[in-house]
Amino acid sequence: MSIESAPHEQDIALAIIGGTGLYKLADLQDVVTHQPVTSYGVPSGPVRIGTFANRRVAFLARHGEGHSVPPHKVNYRANLAALKAIGATRVLALNTVGGITESFGPRVLACPDQLIDYTWGRISTLCEEPGTEVLHVDFGDPYTPCFRGEILAAAARANVAVVDGGCYGATQGPRLETRAEIARMRRDGCDLVGMTGMPEAGLARELGLDYACLAIVANWAAGAGPDPDEQITLQDVLANVEAASAGLGPLLSSL
């Protein structure tokens, strides 16, 4: 299905992009599955649209539902274009991250307000193809401020603790960072580190989508925690994501 012929729903209240450990949205009812092909190519997986807390919600797994797409290979443009094509206007990015500074330990949920991009070699703009209009979008606030406000208000209503603010550092991956890289990121002002925050946020801005990140802290980043020698294991990451995700359902229901 091309982007032009993708079914367009006027009333998609929210689109969600799920990250590592978040491959489907529990309680999404009456699901219709779309396999869009956009002018930027094929998204990471199907877009599943259903009813969640009485509203139409779309869900897409950023790494594919079987986690087969690494961060640097995600077709961020196709993912966002597909969500826009089906009628989404606001996109909530769920990002699994490492915590760098004190308030961002494992199992914390955070809604960052800034980011620094350390990625390289990814297609980071819609203005890539010859002849396309060159866009210089404002990106001083990389996450849509009013949408962040709505997320924080929903969290408060649902009694789910979410840290308001913080700086997300987007690294290339798929390897984790060295202790020196994390020490540098801390000096730069980063509170969180993840591999998928960019170019997603910048592309969402170019596409005119409201976009915010709800970060799920899965581990202390290398050397950042109370035990600087601690090794990061996938087992711990997934266990912490699962535990922290308990707050997601209530938060999303009230968003």
Q: For the segment 130-189, give every residue that binds ligand HPA (CB under 6 A).
A: 171, 176-177
Nearer to ligand HPA, 10 or 231 (CB): 231
| Secondary structure (3-state) at 153 | helix
| Contact string (CB under 6 A) for ligand HPA, positions 57-96, x = contact | ---------------------------------------x
Decide: is 194 part of the binding site for ligand HPA (CB under 6 A).
Answer: yes
- Is 120 a known ligand-binding residue? no
Decide: is 202 part of the binding site for ligand HPA (CB under 6 A).
Answer: no
Residue among 136, 135, 154, 36 nearest 92 (CA): 154
175-202 b/e with 16+ CB inside 10 Å = b? ebbeeebbbebbeeebbbbbbbbbbbbb
Decide: is 191 part of the binding site for ligand HPA (CB under 6 A).
Answer: no
Residue of 82, 213, 215, 218 that binds ligand HPA (CB under 6 A) = 218
The CB-of-121 to ligand HPA minimum distance in angstroms stands at 17
Decide: is 22 part of the binding site for ligand HPA (CB under 6 A).
Answer: no
Say how many residues touch ligand HPA, by CB under 6 A: 14
| Secondary structure (3-state) at 126 | coil
Using CB atoms within 10 A of its CB, is residue 154 exposed (0-12), middle (13-18) or buried (19+)?
middle
The CB-of-55 to ligand HPA minimum distance in angstroms stands at 29
Of all helices (H) and strands (E), which one includes residue 155?
helix 145-157
The one-character DSSP state at 143 is S
Residue among 211, 40, 207 nearest 115 (CA): 211
Judge whether 193 and 166 are in contact, CB under 8 Å: no
- Is 72 a known ligand-binding residue? no
Decide: is 21 part of the binding site for ligand HPA (CB under 6 A).
Answer: no
Residue among 32, 38, 133, 27 nearest 84 (CA): 38
The CB-of-171 to ligand HPA minimum distance in angstroms stands at 6
Binding site for ligand HPA (CB under 6 A): 96-98, 171, 176-177, 193-195, 218-219, 221, 232, 237
- The binding site for phosphate comprises 20, 62-63, 196
